[in-house]
Amino acid sequence: MSAAVPPPADPAAAGEMAREAAAWCALHGLVVGDRADPRSGTVPGVGLVHAPFSLLPAHLPETFWKQACELAPIFNELVDRVSLDGNFLQDSLSKTRQVDDFTSRLLEIHRKMMEINKEENIRLGLHRSDYMLDSETSSLLQIELNTISTSFPGLGPLVSELHRTLINQYGRVLSLEPKRVPGNAASSKFAEALARAWTEFDVDSAIVMMIVQPEERNMYDQYWITKYLKESHGITTIRKTLTQVEAEGHVLPDGTLLVDGKKVAVVYYRAGYTPNDYPSEAEWSARLLIEQSSSVKCPSISYQLVGTKRIQQELANPNVLERFLENKEDIAKLRKCFAGLWSLDDEEIIKTAIEKPELFVLKPQREGGGNNIYGLDLRETLTRLQKEGGDALAAYILMQRIFPKASLAYLVRGGICHEGLVISELGIYGSYLRSKDKVITNDQCGYLMRTKVSSSDEGGVAAGFAVLDSLYLTDK
């Protein structure tokens, strides 16, 4: 994946395009909260800036696009199958739980659900699988699979629209065609999956509850889902923090979850993936309360555990996929996109990583960007963990470092347009809904493109490392 080439040769022309684009963002809701305004994360409509974006879409050969889209329903099915094998999840994460308090608390809730034989008859997953195109092997390799709080289904589609608008206006100068920017319906598709889960729950007066962080500058990405739920499906959404759920929620004897007196059909998590979301026992109590209820959870505790780095690494081991999937073609497609993944039980791979740290990424069990360890820091961390001994290494996995091709692009942040050498990452959204034995939805439903300067190791937009982008499909 590389940025659209060539970008406007004249910086003045790029500046004019950037101004047009920033105005378009304001008019069409491609916005985030402004960090400079202390109220921007808590009061809707206060302190808005355009979301950071790439001025033109990133190039990707269409064959890789099709490959990534084909993988989405296979990964959806895999998550569901793995989630049902409670012993596999508990056993695979047993060492991690000893050194990672957060994973341990999630496993504790999961264990309680296993002990009471709690069944999730309606299971909803809104996933995103992230990939990079490795220039050394010319193969599309998976970075991670996200099963909780997959961000930017609301804003991502708007960037595709923005880029098509700019290409329509400046396409002749740029020699680009708008039809090569694929459509992106992630926000309406996510809303549709949530609405179908609400329908399966089958209580007309019930609502969708979105679990959010107390301060959320990315709230407008979330409000797009709320908008589609109301306008297209007539479903009301409430926004609550875990702290509020603990204060206002209780479960009736029949399993119904009531929050602020309202029956909750679907709980959609846009928080709950980081220890910061559980500052006290109240939040853990809320998470357990939700899990004990009959509401549809997106995700359930078991779906969230399937998305851990350790499970990703375990699924890459020989013969493990065969435990969950029967179709040999599907298994081959998954294996083709797996990068090298190793647990730190392997002393040889630790030795290799210390000798050649530039070829690896050290990943702790954390979501949300800004957590991975690279280069000399990786060498230092592995050396220290080895000396400490015990199970400290179990909190991490090692992954092959992927080397995408870098290219020049214009990035726009805070109204300022600057040119840089960049690399891009493709995320494919998937929606999966099963009601008892019937699969109702298993789809690829849009994409997220993120672009960052090639000198940055991390890729999170909300965390400040990257900008939003879209795709421009090429023949090769």
**Catalytic residue status for 317:** no
The single residue of 54, 76, 151, 300 carrying the catalytic annotation is 151
**Catalytic residue status for 476:** no
Binding-site annotation, residues for Mg(2+): 144, 146, 367
| Cβ-contact 256, 293 below 8 angstroms | yes
**Catalytic residue status for 309:** yes
- Measured CA to CA, the distance from residue 433 to residue 125 in angstroms comes to 7
The single residue of 125, 240, 367, 434 carrying the catalytic annotation is 367
The single residue of 47, 77, 123, 144 carrying the catalytic annotation is 144
- Measured CA to CA, the distance from residue 31 to residue 264 in angstroms comes to 29
Binding-site annotation, residues: 128, 144, 146, 148-151, 216-218, 222, 270-273, 309, 363-372, 374, 399-402, 425, 450, 452, 458, 461-462
The single residue of 15, 86, 368, 420 carrying the catalytic annotation is 368
**Catalytic residue status for 62:** no
Cβ partners under 8 Å of residue 270, min gap 6? 149, 151, 210, 211, 212, 213, 216, 222
Binding-site annotation, residues for substrate: 128, 148-151, 216-218, 222, 270-273, 450, 461-462
**Catalytic residue status for 291:** no
**Catalytic residue status for 380:** no
**Catalytic residue status for 438:** no
**Catalytic residue status for 281:** no
**Catalytic residue status for 450:** yes
Residues acting as catalytic residues: 128, 144, 146, 151, 309, 363, 367-368, 450
